[in-house]
């Protein structure tokens, strides 16, 4: 089954790319954009039919590799 994961920077961690995107959007007439936070999206195919098992495996993957918990949070969709 397919498991989707989003990894984002934690609140309070500086996101210079997000900031640059926000400023560019502001300059493109989207003046009402007050913040952009950039993240990563993972589409993971796990050879496992049990959804709970697959998700708990992906959770391990997030903790061990996909996210660095010093600055990032993960969310399994």
Partner 1 sequence: MKSSVIIFPGSNCDRDMDVALKKFGFENQMVWHNDANIPKSDLIVLPGGFSYGDYLRCGSIAGKSRIIKSVVNFANSGGLVLGICNGFQILTETGLLPGILQQNKYLNFICKNVFVKIKNKENKYFKNINKEVLELHIAHNEGNYFCSKEELKSIEDNGQIAVTYCDDKGNDDEYNNPNGAIKNIAGIFNKEKNILGMMPHPERMIDPFLSGEDGSLFFENLIGNV
Site residues (CB under 8 A) for partner 1? 13-14, 16-17, 20, 65-66, 68, 70-71
Instruction: Kindly state the smallest distance separating residue 49's Cβ from partner 1, in Å.
Output: 27
Give the C-alpha separation, 4 to 25, whole Å. 27
Q: Which is nearer to partner 1, 14 or 28 (CB)?
A: 14
Q: Which is nearer to partner 1, 1 or 13 (CB)?
A: 13
Instruction: Kindly state the smallest distance separating residue 17's Cβ from partner 1, in Å.
Output: 7
Question: What is the chain's alpha carbon radius of gyration, rounded to the nearest angstrom?
Answer: 16
Instruction: Kindly state the smallest distance separating residue 34's Cβ from partner 1, in Å.
Output: 20
60-67 contact pairs (CB < 8 A, 24+): 61/5, 62/5, 62/7, 66/5, 66/7, 66/40, 66/42, 67/7
């Amino acid at each position: 089954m397919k498991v989707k994961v989003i990894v984002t920077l934690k609140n309070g961690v500086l996101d210079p790319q997000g900031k640059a995107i926000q400023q560019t959007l502001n300059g493109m007439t989207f003046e009402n954009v007050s913040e952009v936070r950039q993240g990563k999206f993972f589409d993971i195919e796990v050879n496992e039919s049990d959804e709970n098992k697959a998700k708990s495996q992906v959770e391990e993957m997030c903790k061990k590799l996909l996210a660095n918990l010093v600055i990032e949070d993960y969310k399994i969709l």
